[in-house]
Amino acid sequence: MIENPFEEQINALKEGTISELIVEPKDFTTFREVWKNLPDRMLFVGEAGLNGRIIYHYMKEEN
């Protein structure tokens, strides 16, 4: 089975290893396959960029 390349990037964003994740329009469907199955997907906030690019940030829950 082929691993989705966004799994590692999403985990890095969640862990704080990277501060943002840029998803190009051609890659959105691949990104969404991982994102839609996350229990905390609502904490991933996307900001629309130029030419359909989306910049995601992870908003940690405050306890």
The domain segmentation of the chain, as residue ranges, is: 5-58
The answer on pLDDT for 17 being more than 70 is yes
Residues 57/22, Cβ–Cβ less than 8 Å: no
Q: In what order do the strands lie in the sheet with 44-48?
A: 21-23, 54-58, 44-48
The answer on pLDDT for 29 being more than 60 is yes
pLDDT score, position 60: 83
Pick the more confident residue, 5 or 21.
21
Q: How far apart are CA 49 and CA 63, in angstroms?
A: 31
The answer on pLDDT for 2 being more than 80 is no
The answer on pLDDT for 22 being more than 90 is yes
Please give the distance of CA 2 from its chain centroid, rounded to a whole number. 19
Residues of the chain with pLDDT > 70, as a percent, come to 92
Which amino acid makes up residue 1? M
